Structure 1
Amino acid sequence: MTPTVAMKLYGFEWTNQYGLDETAAVRRLSEQGVDWVVVQNRRDPIPGSGVEQLGPPPGYDDHRFRDHLRERGMRVFEATAVYFQPEEYRTRPELRPIASDASVMEPFDWYVGLCPSDPGHVARRAEVLSEVVDDLRPDGVFLNFIRFPGFWEAWTPRRTRGEIKEYCFCERCLRGFNQSTGNELPVDDPRRAAAILQHELRAEWTSWKCALIADVVRRLRTAVCAVRPGTEVLINGVAMGRDDFGDAVREVLGQDLGLISREAEHTELMLYHQILAREPSPWIESLVGELRPRIDGTLLACLQTSPTYLDPPHDGMGRLPGIPPQEFRAALRAIARSAADGAMFYHWTDFVADDARSGDMSAALRAYKEGTL
Structure 2
Amino acid sequence: MTGSSSSDRENDGSKQDWLDSRLPVRRFLTTQFRSFPMPRSANMLWTVGAMLSAVLVLMLLSGLVLAMNYTPTVAGAFASIEAIERRVPSGWLLRSMHMAGASLFLGALYLHLFRGLYYGSYKKPRELVWLLGLLLLVMTMITAFAGYVLPWGQMSYWGADIAGKALASIPVIGPFTERVFLDGSQPGDGTLHHLFVLHFTLAFAIVAVVGLHVAGVHVAGSGNPSGVESDRKGSLPFSPYFAIKDALGVAVFAIVLTAVMFLFPDLVTESANYRPANPLHTPTNIEPEWYFLPFFGMLQAIPFKFGGLMASVGAVAVLFLVPWLDTSPVRSARQRPLIRLSMILLVASFVVLGLAGQHHMKGIWLIIGRCATVFYFFHFLVVLPFVSRRERAVVESAS
Could you say which TM-score interval applies, normalised by the shorter chain? under 0.3
Q: Comparing both chains, which one has the higher relative contact order based on Cα–Cα distances under 8 Å and sequence gaps of 6 or more?
A: 2
Which structure features the higher share of helix residues?
Answer: 2
With normalisation by structure 2, the TM-score equals 0.24
- What TM-score results when the alignment is normalised by the length of structure 1? 0.25
Q: Higher strand fraction: Structure 1 or Structure 2?
A: 1
Q: Which has the larger radius of gyration?
A: 2
